[in-house]
Structure 1
Amino acid sequence: MRVLLALLLLLLLRSAEPRRRQRSGAGEEAARGRVRGRGRAGVNRRQTTQCKEYEEAGEKYLDCQDRQLTTVMQDWPTDIHHLLLARNKIQILRDNMFSQFTQLKSLDLQQNHISLVEERAFSGLSQLNTLLLQHNSLKSASEEVLLPLPRLTYLRIYDNPWHCHCSLDSLIRTIQVPSNRNLGNYAKCAEPLSMKGQKLKNINVDTLCVDSRPGGDRQGGGGGQRPPPIRPKMDATSMCYTYMLPRPHLDCSNKDLKSIPTDLPSDIVKMDLSRNTIKHLRPKQFLLSKDLKQLNLSNNSLQKIETAAFAGLLYLREMDLSNNSLQYFQYGVLEDLYFLRKLSLEHNPWVCDYSIHYLVYWLKHHPGVSYSGLVCSYPPEFRGWRVEDYVKTYNGECPKDKQTNLEIGPGVPGGENEAQEVVGETEGQGELPQPIQEKPNTIEIIRLN
């Protein structure tokens, strides 16, 4: 009996074992799936926040632009010198948010959604000299936020809706100190209406707290009418994006511009004005951009460039004029470009007639300039020709049947015999004419190039 019970028990145990293994295998597979899921999620998260780290001129950069970031990550390297956080979704700069980056020299926070900067947000950044906060949603800030930055030299805060009230008093007084000439340039008031469009650098600070005083905004106690608001001028700083790293760059591309913006920053090295509808370049519009080295005017509707349009661009090295409506250059247009090295001229309807000669002449006398795209579009007989080849045919040999008959002197073959025949005819006449004083042969055939 005992043996029978033992056999039955053994059979029951064997029949239950596969089910346990099946359940165990399913559990392991599910666990592996969960692990794989977590791994995939972790990879995606890292790809979303992964930044590009590189080194240039011995300084370390961390490029975290366009990463949908809302804050600073704790696993970022702390020995970087330049942190690029433009075009993210940061809304508030919290206290000690950047304190671990003690070697930081520049911080780019433009084109976020920043509306609040806490007083100790920049604590620990004693080496910082460049802070970019333009194109955000800041309305107010105090001088306290700048106190941890003893070496701050460049502060960009324009294109923010600044409320020029009493809360902004200390910040405006700081940026108006004469020694702080690069702090807060181009920033303007958005409110109140009486100050709208005025630069923070120029407003009268003593009027900021008038509204908070009893009856302070009244003229003569009678509640006078507010002055009309100043209409803001659309300049480069309010319409375009300015990047300071790795070199100053003004991006005005695809802004539906019909002319060159006013108040171009003077320290810009690269300027992109492509994909607009600019038709006409007038004299001295780039006069203040003395450091400009690259200028992109491609994909506009350029038809005319006046002489002195590029005045002041002494150090310009590259210029892109492709995809426009240019037919020729007026005489003298390129005379200010002493250091130009690259000129892009593709996809313009160049007209091959005498007007095109100035451009070819200038390029011939500046062999260090690399250019491309100089192809005839008109007239039809020269369409597709290189402009240089057209100019060669213009200066080619004149066919003999088209040459003008000139009087030939004795120095030319056949001239001496003809002169003797003339003398012989006069000898047979009664009275000889008075001797003609011999004149030097001044006839010279000149080939016009």
Structure 2
Amino acid sequence: MRLLTTLVLLLLLRSAEPRRGPRSGAAERGAGGRVRGRGRAGVMRRQTQECKEYIEAGEKYLDCQDRQLTNVMQDWPKDIQHLLLARNKIQVLRDNMFSQFTQLKSLDLQQNDISMVEDGAFSGLSQLTTLLLQHNGLKTASEEVLLPLPRLTYLRIYDNPWRCHCSLDSLVRTLQVPSNRNLGNYAKCAEPPSLWGQKLKKLNVESLCADDNQVDRRPGVGEDRQPRPPPIKVKPDATSMCHTYMHPKPLLDCSNKGAGSEEAQMLKVTFDLQEYPSMITGNDICGSEEHAQNLNNIPSDLPSDIVKMDLSSNSIKHLRPKQFLLSKDLKLLNLSSNSLQRIDIGAFVGLLYLRELDLSNNSLHYFQYGVLEDLYFLRKLKLENNPWICDYNIHYLIYWLKHHPGVFYTGLTCSEPQEFRGWRVEDYVKTYNGECPMDKQTGGMDTGQGGQGGTENEAQEVVGEMGDGHGELLPRPLKQKPKKFEIIRLS
């Protein structure tokens, strides 16, 4: 009996052990709220660590772009001078949101979901000179937002659906102060319909409140029943097609705006411009069918303070005169991987300080005479993967390069005709005056067809210039006769 009792007790104890396990696990989970909290804090710390911190030109940058952030983290370094928060999920800028970063000189908040900025959002940023808020959902803001920023020099607020009503009056007046020439450039009204598309910098301030009054005074016509204006033709411009980055150097990024790109596919929407225009935002315009098509022309309204411009991987075929006239500070221009076939004389007018020009991966055959004359200080010219035709038209390019020895260039190789394919264009030009094979068979004899005389030393000089690479392939130069002059005595 005792043996049986002992066995029953052992079985009961063993069966109780699994039940204690869950209770123990539950207890862990009960206290585990704190464990998971520590885990979340760890995730936040890892997220902070994902932000790239670096120093350039002696100033500290914190790059937190593309991090899906909805707020500013309190454990970020306080001594940063440039904070990059582009392409996140921030919706509202709260009071004192950045007050801990008292040394900030630039704040990049473009391409978020910002729809509201509280008046004290930028409190404490007395050193800030650059504020980027373009490509967001802002409809209204007041002058109070800018009061904590006495040193603000650059303000970008375009591609926001601004409601040009009384609530925007103080901000518009501030933007239009003559000394604020770089504040709010290119920003446009999205509503009301009577002001749609007008720039805030050029807006008649008196019309902001007048338009509201007119809506209420018209008998039988409410705000929701305003007459539709005629359709407006939307033209691609730099503010809707491209993105601007001010640090470390002002960059206009218009690259890869083709319809096949991922960004264009995301932005592609259809809408009828005859519908109520106030419902059309800057993002809608950017995503219209016209804008979803390949970028096949240089955008209009190019910013004048851009140092680098990237127009690569588009479908631009033709550069017309004076399209970069206002980009006087441009130092780097990337036009690679387009479909460039023609560059007009005067296309580079205004680019006095351009240092680097990338024309690789295009369809250029030659340059017209005079195309490069405006590039006084060019130092690097990329020409790879163009079907250069080695005939008389190619001579201008070699002539210009010869007289600008400080220009480093690459990719100048003959594509046509067949007999010169693969030759360096410089080598082709050196042999341009060589005799044709048929003349070579005659032994250089005068055929009576106006043959030209010369010396054997001249032929040796040309071959010497060629070097050993193609010397054995070169024909001798045509012999030239001295020119005859007739002297006429005038009485």
Tell me, yes or no, whether TM beats 0.5.
yes
Q: Indicate conservation of the 8 Å contact 1:195/1:229, yes or no.
A: no
Q: Tell me the distance in 2 between the aligned counterparts of 1:187 and 1:403.
A: 75
Query: Which of residues 308, 312, 322 in structure 2 aligns to 1:284?
Result: 322
**Alpha-carbon distance change, 378 to 42 in structure 1, aligned in 2, over 3 angstroms:** farther
1:390 to partner: Cα distance? 2.1
TM alignment of 1:193-212, pairs within 5 A? 193-212=193-212
Q: Tell me the distance in 1 between the aligned counterparts of 2:187 and 2:226.
A: 28
1:224-248 per-residue CA deviation (whole Å, 9 max, x = no partner) reads 9787576554321222111101110
Residues 1:385 and 2:419 aligned together? no
Q: Tell me the distance in 2 between the aligned counterparts of 1:280 and 1:362.
A: 21
- Paired AA for residue 300 in structure 1: N
Counterpart in 1 of 2:256?
254
- Paired AA for residue 104 in structure 2: L
* Higher RCO (C-alpha 8 Å, min separation 6): 2
Residues 1:240 and 2:238 aligned together? no
Q: Tell me the distance in 2 between the aligned counterparts of 1:404 and 1:217.
A: 96
1:273-328 per-residue CA deviation (whole Å, 9 max, x = no partner) reads 11111111011111111111111111111000011111111111111111111111
Gaps spanning 5+ residues in structure 1: where? 413-442
Counterpart in 2 of 1:299?
337
1:91-131 per-residue CA deviation (whole Å, 9 max, x = no partner) reads 11111111111111111111111111111111111111111
Counterpart in 1 of 2:383?
345
Counterpart in 1 of 2:357?
319
Q: Tell me the distance in 1 between the aligned counterparts of 2:325 and 2:253.
A: 18
Q: Indicate conservation of the 8 Å contact 1:210/1:216, yes or no.
A: no
1:58 to partner: Cα distance? 1.7
1:39-61 per-residue CA deviation (whole Å, 9 max, x = no partner) reads 88766554444211111122111
Q: Tell me the distance in 2 between the aligned counterparts of 1:328 and 1:142.
A: 54
Q: Tell me the distance in 1 between the aligned counterparts of 2:166 and 2:197.
A: 17
TM alignment of 1:2-41, pairs within 5 A? none
Counterpart in 2 of 1:92?
92
Q: Tell me the distance in 2 between the aligned counterparts of 1:47 and 1:277.
A: 41
TM alignment of 1:182-193, pairs within 5 A? 182-193=182-193
**Alpha-carbon distance change, 184 to 17 in structure 1, aligned in 2, over 3 angstroms:** same
Counterpart in 2 of 1:429?
none
Q: Secondary structure at the match of 2:83?
A: strand
Two-structure CA RMSD over aligned residues (Å): 3.8
Counterpart in 1 of 2:72?
72
Query: Which of residues 371, 390, 400 in structure 1 aligns to 2:409?
Result: 371
Q: Tell me the distance in 2 between the aligned counterparts of 1:161 and 1:247.
A: 27
Greater fraction helix: 2
Q: Indicate conservation of the 8 Å contact 1:194/1:229, yes or no.
A: no
1:339 to partner: Cα distance? 1.6
**Alpha-carbon distance change, 353 to 217 in structure 1, aligned in 2, over 3 angstroms:** farther
Q: Secondary structure at the match of 2:443?
A: helix
Q: Secondary structure at the match of 2:155?
A: strand
1:213 to partner: Cα distance? 3.2
Counterpart in 2 of 1:53?
53
**Alpha-carbon distance change, 214 to 238 in structure 1, aligned in 2, over 3 angstroms:** closer
Q: Percent identity?
A: 72
Q: Secondary structure at the match of 2:144?
A: helix
Q: Tell me the distance in 2 between the aligned counterparts of 1:376 and 1:43.
A: 59
TM alignment of 1:424-435, pairs within 5 A? none
TM-score between both structures, scaled by the size of structure 1: 0.80
Q: Indicate conservation of the 8 Å contact 1:197/1:232, yes or no.
A: no
1:376 to partner: Cα distance? 1.6
Gaps spanning 5+ residues in structure 2: where? 258-293, 456-480, 485-491
- Paired AA for residue 346 in structure 1: E
1:407-447 per-residue CA deviation (whole Å, 9 max, x = no partner) reads 99xxx9xxxxxxxxxxxxxxxxxxxxxxxxxxxxxx6389x
Count of aligned residue pairs for this structure pair: 404
1:19 to partner: Cα distance? 9.0
Q: Tell me the distance in 1 between the aligned counterparts of 2:143 and 2:233.
A: 28
- Paired AA for residue 66 in structure 1: D
**Alpha-carbon distance change, 349 to 43 in structure 1, aligned in 2, over 3 angstroms:** farther
1:170-228 per-residue CA deviation (whole Å, 9 max, x = no partner) reads 11011111111111111111111111111111111111111443777659x9x997875
Q: Tell me the distance in 2 between the aligned counterparts of 1:66 and 1:335.
A: 42
Specify the structure having the higher radius of gyration (Cα).
1
- Paired AA for residue 366 in structure 1: H
